[in-house]
Amino acid sequence: MVKVWDPLVRIFHWSLVVFFGIAWITSEGFDSIHAWTGYIAGGLIAFRLIWGLIGPRYARFSNFIKGPGTVIDYLKAMAAHKEKRYLGHNPAGGAMIVALLITVAITVWTGWEITQPQYAHSDLMKTLHAFITSVLMTLVIVHIGGVVLAGLRHKENLARSMVTGEKRAPEDGDIA
Protein backbone atom coordinates (compact mmCIF):
# COMPACT_ATOMS: atom_id res chain seq x y z
CA MET A 1 0.00 0.00 0.00
CA VAL A 2 1.14 3.57 -0.62
CA LYS A 3 0.01 6.89 0.89
CA VAL A 4 -1.95 8.95 -1.64
CA TRP A 5 -4.39 11.29 0.14
CA ASP A 6 -2.88 13.55 2.76
CA PRO A 7 -4.78 14.13 6.05
CA LEU A 8 -6.11 17.57 5.02
CA VAL A 9 -7.63 16.27 1.76
CA ARG A 10 -9.36 13.52 3.76
CA ILE A 11 -10.62 15.86 6.48
CA PHE A 12 -11.73 18.30 3.76
CA HIS A 13 -13.67 15.60 1.91
CA TRP A 14 -15.57 14.08 4.82
CA SER A 15 -16.25 17.49 6.41
CA LEU A 16 -17.69 18.64 3.08
CA VAL A 17 -19.90 15.54 2.97
CA VAL A 18 -21.15 16.22 6.53
CA PHE A 19 -21.78 19.97 6.16
CA PHE A 20 -23.27 19.64 2.67
CA GLY A 21 -25.49 16.88 4.06
CA ILE A 22 -26.69 18.98 7.02
CA ALA A 23 -27.28 22.00 4.74
CA TRP A 24 -29.29 19.75 2.44
CA ILE A 25 -31.37 18.22 5.25
CA THR A 26 -32.08 21.62 6.88
CA SER A 27 -32.99 23.36 3.60
CA GLU A 28 -36.69 22.71 4.11
CA GLY A 29 -37.75 25.84 5.99
CA PHE A 30 -34.61 28.00 6.11
CA ASP A 31 -32.88 28.31 9.52
CA SER A 32 -29.51 29.35 10.95
CA ILE A 33 -28.18 25.77 10.86
CA HIS A 34 -28.78 25.76 7.10
CA ALA A 35 -26.95 29.06 6.67
CA TRP A 36 -23.98 28.18 8.89
CA THR A 37 -23.40 24.67 7.58
CA GLY A 38 -23.63 26.16 4.06
CA TYR A 39 -21.02 28.81 4.89
CA ILE A 40 -18.75 26.18 6.43
CA ALA A 41 -19.05 24.19 3.17
CA GLY A 42 -18.02 27.41 1.38
CA GLY A 43 -15.03 27.81 3.71
CA LEU A 44 -13.98 24.24 2.95
CA ILE A 45 -14.04 25.01 -0.79
CA ALA A 46 -11.86 28.10 -0.19
CA PHE A 47 -9.38 25.93 1.70
CA ARG A 48 -9.35 23.34 -1.12
CA LEU A 49 -8.60 25.99 -3.74
CA ILE A 50 -5.46 26.98 -1.82
CA TRP A 51 -4.53 23.34 -1.09
CA GLY A 52 -4.85 22.54 -4.80
CA LEU A 53 -2.03 25.02 -5.43
CA ILE A 54 0.31 24.38 -2.51
CA GLY A 55 -0.64 20.92 -1.20
CA PRO A 56 1.24 17.66 -1.77
CA ARG A 57 1.45 15.94 -5.16
CA TYR A 58 -1.92 14.13 -5.34
CA ALA A 59 -3.81 17.07 -3.84
CA ARG A 60 -2.59 19.46 -6.55
CA PHE A 61 -4.85 20.60 -9.37
CA SER A 62 -1.88 20.14 -11.73
CA ASN A 63 -1.98 16.42 -10.89
CA PHE A 64 -5.61 15.82 -11.85
CA ILE A 65 -7.08 18.64 -13.93
CA LYS A 66 -6.76 17.54 -17.54
CA GLY A 67 -7.92 19.06 -20.82
CA PRO A 68 -11.27 18.05 -22.38
CA GLY A 69 -9.49 15.80 -24.91
CA THR A 70 -7.88 13.72 -22.18
CA VAL A 71 -11.18 13.49 -20.26
CA ILE A 72 -13.05 12.35 -23.40
CA ASP A 73 -10.34 9.81 -24.27
CA TYR A 74 -10.57 8.46 -20.72
CA LEU A 75 -14.38 8.15 -20.94
CA LYS A 76 -14.06 6.35 -24.29
CA ALA A 77 -11.50 3.99 -22.77
CA MET A 78 -13.95 3.40 -19.89
CA ALA A 79 -16.73 2.52 -22.33
CA ALA A 80 -14.35 0.03 -23.96
CA HIS A 81 -13.30 -1.31 -20.53
CA LYS A 82 -9.70 -0.32 -21.26
CA GLU A 83 -9.17 2.65 -18.97
CA LYS A 84 -5.97 2.78 -16.96
CA ARG A 85 -5.85 2.82 -13.20
CA TYR A 86 -4.74 6.12 -11.74
CA LEU A 87 -3.14 6.34 -8.32
CA GLY A 88 -4.47 9.90 -7.97
CA HIS A 89 -7.78 11.16 -9.38
CA ASN A 90 -8.46 9.90 -12.91
CA PRO A 91 -9.20 12.51 -15.64
CA ALA A 92 -13.01 12.06 -15.39
CA GLY A 93 -12.82 12.26 -11.60
CA GLY A 94 -10.73 15.42 -11.92
CA ALA A 95 -13.35 17.03 -14.16
CA MET A 96 -16.04 16.05 -11.66
CA ILE A 97 -14.05 17.57 -8.80
CA VAL A 98 -13.81 20.89 -10.65
CA ALA A 99 -17.56 20.78 -11.32
CA LEU A 100 -18.32 19.98 -7.66
CA LEU A 101 -16.07 22.74 -6.29
CA ILE A 102 -17.58 25.35 -8.63
CA THR A 103 -21.17 24.23 -8.00
CA VAL A 104 -20.82 24.19 -4.20
CA ALA A 105 -19.32 27.71 -4.43
CA ILE A 106 -22.25 28.98 -6.56
CA THR A 107 -24.71 27.31 -4.16
CA VAL A 108 -23.22 29.12 -1.18
CA TRP A 109 -23.00 32.42 -3.06
CA THR A 110 -26.67 32.31 -4.20
CA GLY A 111 -27.71 31.27 -0.66
CA TRP A 112 -25.94 34.32 0.77
CA GLU A 113 -27.50 36.57 -1.87
CA ILE A 114 -31.02 35.49 -0.82
CA THR A 115 -30.35 37.03 2.61
CA GLN A 116 -29.24 40.38 1.11
CA PRO A 117 -31.75 43.25 1.38
CA GLN A 118 -31.81 43.98 -2.36
CA TYR A 119 -33.37 40.54 -2.95
CA ALA A 120 -35.94 40.80 -0.17
CA HIS A 121 -38.74 41.41 -2.67
CA SER A 122 -37.43 39.25 -5.48
CA ASP A 123 -37.49 35.51 -6.02
CA LEU A 124 -34.56 35.58 -8.44
CA MET A 125 -31.89 34.35 -6.02
CA LYS A 126 -34.25 31.83 -4.39
CA THR A 127 -34.93 30.36 -7.81
CA LEU A 128 -31.24 30.30 -8.72
CA HIS A 129 -30.35 28.75 -5.35
CA ALA A 130 -32.98 26.03 -5.73
CA PHE A 131 -31.87 25.35 -9.32
CA ILE A 132 -28.14 25.14 -8.57
CA THR A 133 -28.72 22.85 -5.60
CA SER A 134 -30.54 20.43 -7.93
CA VAL A 135 -27.56 20.55 -10.28
CA LEU A 136 -25.26 19.95 -7.30
CA MET A 137 -27.26 16.97 -6.06
CA THR A 138 -27.20 15.45 -9.56
CA LEU A 139 -23.41 15.89 -9.73
CA VAL A 140 -23.02 14.29 -6.29
CA ILE A 141 -25.01 11.25 -7.38
CA VAL A 142 -22.92 10.89 -10.57
CA HIS A 143 -19.77 11.42 -8.45
CA ILE A 144 -20.70 8.58 -6.11
CA GLY A 145 -21.60 6.42 -9.12
CA GLY A 146 -18.18 7.14 -10.65
CA VAL A 147 -16.44 6.25 -7.38
CA VAL A 148 -18.30 2.93 -7.21
CA LEU A 149 -17.68 2.12 -10.88
CA ALA A 150 -13.95 2.96 -10.82
CA GLY A 151 -13.64 0.93 -7.61
CA LEU A 152 -15.29 -2.11 -9.21
CA ARG A 153 -13.17 -1.86 -12.36
CA HIS A 154 -9.90 -1.78 -10.47
CA LYS A 155 -11.03 -3.93 -7.54
CA GLU A 156 -10.41 -1.39 -4.80
CA ASN A 157 -12.48 0.45 -2.21
CA LEU A 158 -11.92 4.11 -3.10
CA ALA A 159 -14.13 5.43 -0.30
CA ARG A 160 -12.03 3.54 2.24
CA SER A 161 -8.88 5.02 0.66
CA MET A 162 -10.37 8.48 1.22
CA VAL A 163 -10.55 7.51 4.93
CA THR A 164 -7.16 5.83 5.36
CA GLY A 165 -5.29 7.78 2.67
CA GLU A 166 -3.79 4.55 1.31
CA LYS A 167 -4.14 2.81 -2.04
CA ARG A 168 -2.72 -0.33 -3.60
CA ALA A 169 0.78 0.35 -4.95
CA PRO A 170 0.84 1.02 -8.71
CA GLU A 171 1.27 -2.02 -10.94
CA ASP A 172 2.39 -2.30 -14.58
CA GLY A 173 0.32 -0.01 -16.79
CA ASP A 174 -1.03 2.07 -13.90
CA ILE A 175 -0.53 5.82 -13.88
CA ALA A 176 1.17 6.88 -10.66
Residues that bind ligand HEM (CB under 6 A): 9, 12-13, 16-17, 20, 23-24, 27, 30, 34-35, 38-39, 41, 48, 59, 89, 93, 97, 100-101, 104, 107-108, 111-112, 114-115, 126, 129-130, 133, 140, 143-144, 147, 158-159, 162
The Cα–Cα gap between 129 and 29 comes to: 14
Nearest approach in angstroms of CB 108 to ligand HEM is 4
Nearest approach in angstroms of CB 154 to ligand HEM is 10
What is the gyration radius of the CA atoms in the chain, in angstroms? 18
Name residue 86's amino acid.
Y
Q: Considering beta carbons, is residue 72 or 142 the nearer one to ligand HEM?
A: 142
Nearest approach in angstroms of CB 68 to ligand HEM is 19
Q: Considering beta carbons, is residue 71 or 89 the nearer one to ligand HEM?
A: 89
Nearest approach in angstroms of CB 79 to ligand HEM is 19
**Runs of H (alpha helix) within 26-123:** 32-54, 61-64, 68-79, 91-114
Q: What is 106-120 written as a DSSP string?
A: HHHHHHHHHTSGGGT
Nearest approach in angstroms of CB 23 to ligand HEM is 4
CB distance 171 to 4 below 8 Å? no
CB distance 176 to 167 below 8 Å? no
Q: Considering beta carbons, is residue 130 or 149 the nearer one to ligand HEM?
A: 130
Q: Considering beta carbons, is residue 27 or 70 the nearer one to ligand HEM?
A: 27
Helix (H, G, I), strand (E, B) or coil at 150: helix
Provide φ and ψ at 80, rounded to 5°. Answer: -90, 5
- For the chain, the maximum distance between any two Cα atoms, rounded to a whole number of angstroms, is 61
Q: Considering beta carbons, is residue 17 or 169 the nearer one to ligand HEM?
A: 17
- DSSP 8-class letter at 3: E
